[in-house]
Amino acid sequence: MKLRHVLTLTLGACVGLGSIAQAQNLANKQAQAELKATINNCAVCHGLHGQSVSPTFPNLAAQQPVYIENQLHAFKNQTRGDPDAQAFMWGMASQLTDQKIAELAHYWSTQPPPKPRAGDPKLIAQGRAIFTKGIPTEGVPPCASCHGPDAAGRGMFPRLAGQHQQYLLKQLLVIQTALRSAPVMHGIIKDLTRDQMQAVTTYLASL
């Protein structure tokens, strides 16, 4: 009788553990399916592997995960207020949970980086000088001091290498005119000319 009781309890425990494992497996599959669906939504503009076709939308591949998280939270909280953010990203990010944001950041950050784009050699040389040395006579520090010598970014400072030139230029302009709130960057680039911005963004796209 005791043996039968023990066997019954053991069998019940096994069934219970099996049910828990099955439920966890189902939950994991559901979470993965939801993440894949979200990635597919993002891919409409940014490309399946984070390499967008249109320069209107930034490449996300190999971007710093902390930066991606920060920007998605800014979109969700509507604190990034440049026109394109309002038009495209406020609504898209409004339903994202913190966990989903972290998962998306991890996914995009682990994708292969975009390929370099050819550009005007003269502009690339001018842009390289600004990026690596700054413009000392105008008090502009080297971009590399925050974004890294290869422009791959560091934590909260985004990857710029391989980004669309048109997108980078647009972001510099909206920051310079304070349409996008970025006080540190605004202070650095407030006196840059459009030609200087054209040069440095052409260089960055070529990396």
The chain-wide mean pLDDT, for the chain, equals 91
Q: What is the pTM of this model?
A: 0.86
Q: How far is CA 56 from the centre of its chain?
A: 15
Q: Is the predicted pLDDT of residue 152 greater than 60, yes or no?
A: yes
145 CB-contact burial (10 Å; exposed 0-12 / middle 13-18 / buried 19+): middle
pLDDT in tens, 51-93: 999 999 999 999 999 999 999 999 999 999 889 889 999 999 9
What is residue 23's predicted lDDT score, i.e. its pLDDT?
Answer: 65
How far apart CA 95 and CA 102 sit, in angstroms, is 14
How far apart CA 96 and CA 84 sit, in angstroms, is 18
What is residue 32's predicted lDDT score, i.e. its pLDDT?
Answer: 86
Give strand pairing partners of 157: 154
pLDDT in tens, 92-103: 999 999 999 999
Calculate what percentage of the chain has a pLDDT beyond 70. 88
Buried b (16+ CB within 10 A) or exposed e, 5-40: eeeeeeeeeeeeeeeeeeeeeeeeeeeeeebeebbe
Calculate what percentage of the chain has a pLDDT beyond 90. 81
Q: Is the predicted pLDDT of residue 133 greater than 80, yes or no?
A: yes
Q: Is the predicted pLDDT of residue 148 greater than 70, yes or no?
A: yes
How far apart CA 106 and CA 125 sit, in angstroms, is 33
Task: Kindly indicate the confidence band of residue 153, based on its pLDDT and cuts at 50, 70 and 90.
Answer: very high
What is residue 27's predicted lDDT score, i.e. its pLDDT?
Answer: 60
Domains of the chain with CATH codes: 2-109 (1.10.760.10), 121-205 (1.10.760.10)
Q: Is the predicted pLDDT of residue 203 greater than 80, yes or no?
A: yes
Structure tokens at 130: 């600004």
Cβ atoms of 59 and 159 closer than 8 Å: no
